[in-house]
A and B are shown apart, each in its own frame.
Chain A
């Protein structure tokens, strides 16, 4: 398909506009974190930093609780991601392949979990966790994050499973592979992009989760980044530089995650299997 230069300009112009809209806040945060406090709060904002300093990062790492928040967040997010993936995969496979009464109804129903705003379940959940002694425990956050991420993850995973030709599974059945082996040795490698998508979704959901983390965690030392940030604001007035440095640092693990799992996003994995 050939595009005229008009179309091309419009297309690239449009893309550039979208990229700027998405990228600008990030640019703002990242550049802001290396500006001198004076420049950050100056009346005329600067697009490009005129000054350079690492003082905010220094303060962030040495004089604030940020490293602890970061560690807490990483732990909660990693566990949430792992459990989400480990549970979504067999659940999706069951919805996809196994026949049991009420399968379709159940499959549609699980998304109803998103029909309730978090606040609605927050109070009963608090009571529940209080009874079993999970208040102020990272485990509570992991449970909540997994519960929130699972329904959508199952949906995603199932649609990836649907791309694997049925015959491959049947061949494995004839070859004598038990269901778990089929899942682990055959399907998992073939839907690696799907697993990566689910993992990223679960990680980011947990990474940015604020509401439950703010209520279920009580002690400062167990806070995750989003809640911890709120603390930074109060604790030191509003230290914009510190806040921007914290936000920048908070992006880093997500970027690392994308870099790590990004290579799984290769298409054509099933190529050569059938036809």
Chain B
């Protein structure tokens, strides 16, 4: 168990700066998830923490100790790779015991710890098998087991479930959550998967192009995003953004309008001072936050082009007057029909306002 802190950490590959000054504190026992679009530097940052990539600038501390130039094995971390990275010619038991063997632990201690880990991960009857004789889920459990036996201060996971099929992913996700609550060790987890991020994380770190956009608890990011990027990235399907104009501003209340989206007037409470009248803004509203048109604070209207009915929920994709698409979620599959001009109700408390630079206002 250990705290982790990154101080102005930078990484350059030759000329290109891939991590541009990241500051981050992770508390002991915290489950932190890195998310962000492909190529934003999630893996690179994780590998820098692991020591598999050198740190160009800045400082990495684990458990209060500066490990910036330390060997991976001496950092007190363990890493689980997306591709499992098991040793194919060794049995499950040898794979899991390998880090202890490298640390020159006595044989009986290795045996005991491997058996303990195997028990936690339900791998007991597979200990003598080779990785190729296991299923994908079992292989990933072996990889996790190999990490557990070292009793690291920090677990690092790089998209550990993305090679598994959907069902297994759910199962393993729950298993990882259980593992975290049992071991109570600091975990850093990279994923593309919204659900994994939202359900596993104590804290989500949203990265974009090598910088942190926002750090916060999952619901905090969902309910109170700092900018349009985070707002769009957290939540699925994505938040809708509709261009609008400020009609009038008074303190932290703005009156906005978006005629081409059928929005006459909407009062929005802003974070700080409302932008001046006449400014271009965009309003953000999540697909799941639309309500029935009558009784709503305001409405957006568009022509429904496609309806996706998933059973429990349906999504209507509507085209607004300016050509933009709007995604609207509904629990009632019969509410939408294709080709019909429809009004979708919104509530002012569920609407975010962003300025032209995408900053939340």
Report which A residues bind B (CB closer than 8 A).
165, 167-168, 170-177, 181, 186, 189-190, 268-275
Contacts and interface: CB of A to CB of B under 8 A. Distances in A.
A272 B133 contact: yes
B79 A171 contact: yes
B73 A175 contact: yes
A268 B131 CA distance: 12
B83 interface: yes
Contacts of B85: 165, 167-168, 170-171, 273-274
Contacts of B134: 272
Given A171-B81, A171-B85, A272 B139 contact: yes
Interface in B105-138: 130-134, 136
26 contacts: A165-B85, A167-B81, A167-B83, A167-B85, A168-B87, A171-B143, A172-B87, A172-B98, A173-B73, A174-B52, A174-B72, A175-B73, A176-B73, A177-B102, A186-B87, A189-B89, A190-B89, A270-B88, A272-B132, A272-B133, A272-B139, A273-B84, A273-B85, A273-B131, A274-B81, A275-B163
Top 9 A-B pairs, shortest CB-CB distance: A272-B132, A176-B73, A274-B83, A272-B131, A167-B85, A176-B102, A273-B88, A175-B99, A171-B85
Interface of B: 50-52, 71-74, 77-79, 81-89, 98-99, 102-103, 130-134, 136, 139, 143, 146, 150, 163
Contacts of A176: 73-74, 99, 102-103
A30 B133 CA distance: 45
Contacts of A275: 83-84, 136, 163
A165 B77 contact: no
A147 B146 CA distance: 42
Contacts of B102: 175-177, 181
A273 B88 CA distance: 5
Contacts of A268: 132
Nearest to B79: A174
A272 B79 CA distance: 18
A272 B88 contact: yes
Nearest to B80: A171
Nearest to A166: B85
Contact of A175 (B83, B88, B89, B98): B98
B106 to A, nearest CB: 16
Nearest to B152: A174
A273 B140 CA distance: 10
A181 B134 CA distance: 26
A167 B81 CA distance: 7
Contacts of B133: 272
A175 B52 contact: no
A214 to B, nearest CB: 43
Given A176-B102, A273-B83, 5 more contacts: A174-B79, A177-B102, A269-B89, A273-B85, A274-B86
Nearest to A272: B132
